[in-house]
Amino acid sequence: MPGRIAFVPPRFGAGVVGGSEALSQEIAIGLSGRGWDVEILTTCAVDHYTWDNALPPGDTTEFGLPVRRFETAHHLSHVTTEVQRAIEAGSPISLDKQLNWLSGRFSVPDLFQHLLLHGAAYDAVIFSPYLFWTTTVCMPVVRDRAIVIPCLHDEGYARLDVIRPVLSDPRAVWFLSEPEHDVAHRLGPVADHHVVTGAGVNPPEGYDPAGFCERHGIKRPFALYAGRREADKGWDWLQSTFADALALGGPDLDLVTIGVGKVTVPARLHGRVIDLGFLEDDERDNALAAAQVYLQPSRMESFSRSVMEAWLAGTPVLAVKGGEVVAWHCRRSGGGLTFSGPDDLVAGLREICETPGRAEDMAARGRDYVLKEYSWPAVLDRMEAELGASCRHG
């Protein structure tokens, strides 16, 4: 057996929505299938808004992997709220207050204790994403065998003093894209050993776009947004920009959204936004295949899995211009366009929806790009080579 690995995601399991969590799960399954002894160390939480202990602590088996869950503890205070507002405003924050904020949402004392007592039993411990207590506090306990997949964004959180060791101190850092790697170097020191591994996406066996529309009563062409419906992901901005684009005479499309988070539709989009909530993976893929275009309004992406899934489904992409990672993918692939406001959005929608053959050409380019650059076998080969080197020299 090549070696023993622990993955430390903040959440894990069926029903968990999050790009880094999905990534950790798929890497773990892939490496286990290649003979690595893989274990998941995670929390009892499912909801990333509350971090409540929704699942029992202890050992289970999920997706064929041993999973050990630890309870979260909560320490919310007025200082936590004060620091959160300061981060969002870009104001300076003392180190003491940063440390208070770090534990404010949740901590996992028993996970820390487990790594303290048993961390040396693992050849590698893989943490992702960079931001949460499970990485920022637990990684230093096993830094000599730690690998961090940060899923990094150019945001206020990444500039905090308490975050710097996450990128500078582990044995290795794995990035998902060249722009993410560049952001890390702009922000400060990075571990001597770091590499761009990319991430993998599995092509579905097939799609059922017509069936999707019939099952959900969708009778009109639509643009799709899939993911967390949060301001940080650009959801509020997308609704406003989409409404302005319709008012400017853009193509007559509805906006369908799937994912988690509350959807409050502005009055001027009444009847034009269809919220289908959380969908299982197969139906999500069918939604992507049924859409005329996939809209990605998030600037906070390190890879953008949903864009890759859209291209695999044969759907072109329109992405926010300020998102370095997705714009990079669009340029490299030829599978997408970018927009910065309603005028750009109208122009992009018209080019995709009204230019004969344009949507098909873009989608084909995008699909070829994903299959060439981000197949799981190729990505796992890169990760396995890195792990093999770490285990030999650990």
75 or 219, which is more confident? 219
Same domain assignment for residues 329 and 381: no
Calculate the alpha carbon distances from 365 to 113, 119, 290, 347, 371 in Å: 48, 44, 18, 20, 10
Q: Answer whether residue 153 shows pLDDT above 90.
A: no
Same domain assignment for residues 213 and 173: no
Q: Which long-range contacts (CB under 8 A, 24 or more apart) does 238-244 make?
A: 238/295, 238/297, 239/265, 239/266, 239/269, 239/273, 240/266, 241/297, 241/339, 241/341, 241/342, 241/345, 242/269, 242/272, 242/295, 242/345, 243/268, 243/269, 243/272, 244/341, 244/342, 244/345
pLDDT average, residue stretch 111-138: 96
CA distance 351 to 348: 5
Phi then psi dihedrals of residue 252, to 5 deg: -80, 80
The pLDDT tens digits of the residues spanning 3-40 come to 999 999 999 988 776 778 989 999 999 999 999 999 99
**pLDDT for the residue 225:** 97
The pLDDT tens digits of the residues spanning 296-343 come to 999 888 888 999 999 999 999 999 998 889 999 999 999 999 999 999
Q: Answer whether residue 393 shows pLDDT above 60.
A: no
CA distance 192 to 378: 24
- The total number of residues shown for the chain amounts to 394
Same domain assignment for residues 71 and 165: yes
CATH of the domain at 151: 3.40.50.2000
Q: Answer whether residue 118 shows pLDDT above 60.
A: yes
Scanning the structure block, which residue is given the tokens 């820390």? 112
65 or 1, which is more confident? 65
Query: Which residue segment(s) compose the domain that 299 sits in?
Result: 209-373
First to last CA, the chain: 16
10 sits in the region (left: phi over 0; alpha: psi -120 to 50; else beta) called alpha
CA distance 277 to 297: 18
Same domain assignment for residues 238 and 347: yes
Domain count within the chain:
2
CA distance 278 to 260: 6
Calculate the alpha carbon distances from 335 to 67, 82, 169, 317 in Å: 38, 42, 37, 7
Same domain assignment for residues 369 and 381: no
Q: Answer whether residue 203 shows pLDDT above 90.
A: yes
Q: Round the average pLDDT of the chain to a whole number and report it.
A: 92
Tokens of 268: 């001027």
Tell me the pLDDT band of 1, cut-offs 50, 70 and 90.
low
Alpha helices, DSSP H, located in 42-194:
78-89, 95-102, 109-118, 133-136, 164-168, 178-187
pTM of the model: 0.85
Percent of the chain whose predicted confidence (pLDDT) is above 90: 76
Scanning the structure block, which residue is given the tokens 């419906």? 229
Same domain assignment for residues 233 and 290: yes
Tell me the pLDDT band of 392, cut-offs 50, 70 and 90.
very low
**pLDDT for the residue 17:** 67
Q: Which of 137-146, 232-241, 280-289, 299-308 has the lowest mean pLDDT?
A: 299-308
**pLDDT for the residue 322:** 84
Same domain assignment for residues 284 and 380: no
Same domain assignment for residues 189 and 220: no
**pLDDT for the residue 42:** 98
Same domain assignment for residues 48 and 83: yes
Same domain assignment for residues 195 and 269: no
Same domain assignment for residues 166 and 233: no
CA distance 92 to 288: 42
Please enumerate in sequence order all residues whose Cβ is within 8 A of that of 51, keeping only pairs 6 or more positions apart, or say none.
Answer: 43, 45, 72, 74, 105, 106
Q: Answer whether residue 391 shows pLDDT above 60.
A: no
Same domain assignment for residues 385 and 341: no
